[in-house]
């Protein structure tokens, strides 16, 4: 005894093809993680350049000694504020270069790339700050005053009073990279529609509707 098989209705949607295994799980590949690590290492090393430029371009605060105490040579000088501004502007410039360079290297973007950009920028800013302090004049004012001599001005050590400037590089790099990715990253093509499925819901005819009889030919 055979079972009755109901023929499929032409209005029934065709079944969609099965998704590929690992399509969602394979969104982040080992190559993406490697690229993010490379970006982080390069930006961390670029912090050395930030320290060198900061030491070279930042205005200097000078002290002078009278043999008993150390005083500011110019108490109205704004060199300390200008030093923070120099670090901030250099960080902005490096943030722009980091974002543009990363985007041109890997236009597709990705989460590992953004994480590497953020971590590398933070590490680079910290390296630039500490490297500039290390290369700059000594922080031992007494020893520097004795070495310079009485009445001879000498440079004060570099200082970063506004520690918020350390965030200028990572914030600029991440935000600009996300903007470039959103504007110029090529989009994924639209999926090819399955044959026989229009994508629109069609109301099936009522079950009790009788087929209309053909009209008789007219004389």
* Res 206: pLDDT: 62
* Res 142: pLDDT: 74
* Res 46: pLDDT: 95
Number of H helices, E strands in the chain: 5, 3
Per the CB < 8 A criterion, the answer to whether 176 and 93 are in contact is: no
* Res 146: pLDDT: 74
* Res 165: pLDDT: 93
* Res 127: pLDDT: 96
Of the chain, the end-to-end C-alpha distance in Å amounts to 51
Averages of pLDDT over each 10 residues, the chain, 219 residues = 54 50 59 90 95 92 74 69 92 96 87 93 96 86 74 79 93 94 72 51 56 56
* Res 159: pLDDT: 87
* Res 158: pLDDT: 87
Per the CB < 8 A criterion, the answer to whether 92 and 169 are in contact is: yes
Contacts with 81 (C-beta within 8 Å, 6 or more apart), sequence order: 161
| In the block, residue with structure tokens 């007219």 | 218
Contacts with 156 (C-beta within 8 Å, 6 or more apart), sequence order: 60, 61, 62, 63, 137, 141
């Amino acid at each position: 005894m055979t079972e009755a098989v109901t023929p499929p209705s032409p209005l029934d949607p065709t079944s969609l093809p099965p998704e590929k295994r690992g399509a969602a799980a394979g969104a982040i590949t080992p190559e993406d993680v490697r690229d993010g690590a490379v970006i982080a290492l390069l930006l961390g090393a670029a912090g050395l350049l930030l320290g060198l430029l900061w030491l070279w371009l930042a205005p200097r605060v000078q002290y002078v000694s009278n043999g008993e105490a150390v005083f500011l040579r110019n108490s109205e000088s704004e060199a300390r504020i200008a030093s923070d501004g120099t670090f901030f502007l250099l960080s902005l410039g490096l943030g722009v270069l980091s974002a543009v360079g990363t985007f041109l290297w890997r236009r597709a973007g990705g989460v590992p790339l953004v994480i590497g950009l953020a971590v590398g920028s933070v590490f680079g800013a910290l390296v630039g700050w500490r490297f500039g302090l290390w290369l700059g004049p000594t922080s031992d004012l007494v020893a520097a005053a004795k070495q310079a001599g009485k009445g001879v001005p000498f440079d004060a050590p570099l200082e970063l009073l506004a520690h918020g400037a350390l965030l200028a590089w990572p914030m600029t790099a991440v935000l600009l990279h996300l903007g470039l990715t959103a504007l110029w990253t090529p989009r994924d093509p639209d999926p090819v529609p399955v044959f026989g499925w229009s994508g629109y819901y069609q109301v099936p005819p009522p079950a009790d509707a009788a087929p209309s009889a053909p009209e008789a030919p007219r004389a």
